[in-house]
Amino acid sequence: MEVVPRNTAERAYTICVIIFALVMFSSFVSSITSAMTHLHDVNMQHARQQEYLRRYICDNKVSLHLGRRIYEFVRQHCSTTKKRIHESDVTVFKVLPESLRVDLRCEVFVPVLLPHPFFNCCHNYDRGLLSNICRFALSEVTVSIGQELFSHGMEATHMFFITSGELDYFFGSCG
């Protein structure tokens, strides 16, 4: 049994369906091409950075041992994906009114700060102080395996609270 258009209306409908299918297929192919181009660009940028690193290490005659440590750290750093979403990653937070953003930051950060005796005392004494600390003095950071937060002899300029994962701390000048 052959199904073909028999009159002008059916022919017009068939042509519209074919044109719609052509547009949809072209859009689908275009989105795949765009995604592949973006992936290619990201890979090229990564390869370019690796080449710059290799050239810098060679041009400056960095020792083999240190160069290998740097390569290993960069490889490890690039292979780990950030597991936590930070406030700065959510761009719509920038359009929130300041009062909502402060409430959000307080609700996120106060439970992290309260176990510390100093911040617990601040919270009991003056909740506005802790609100200002959450508003102006806190930021989030993700640290890769092997990355140092600080080292022996560095001036203490930050306080870190571990919210997920684990941290190895070595006391003294060697570790």
> What local confidence, expressed as pLDDT, does residue 48 receive?
92
**How many Å apart are CA 66 and CA 84, to the nearest integer?**
30
- The verdict on 2 and 32 lying in the same domain is yes
Summarised one tens digit per residue, pLDDT across range 40-91 is: 999 999 899 889 999 999 999 989 999 888 888 888 777 665 567 888 888 8
Nearest to 86 by CA among 59, 66, 104, 61: 104
The pLDDT value recorded for residue 174 is: 54
Residue 53 CA: distances (Å) to CA of 45, 71, 85 = 12, 8, 28
* Residue 153 belongs to some domain of the structure: yes
* pLDDT tens per residue across span 7-33: 999 999 999 999 999 999 999 999 999
User: What amino acid occupies position 3?
Assistant: V
| Counted domains in the chain | 2
Q: Are residues 67 and 93 located together in one domain of the fold?
A: no
The pLDDT value given to residue 107: 92
Residue 37 has pLDDT above 90, yes or no: yes
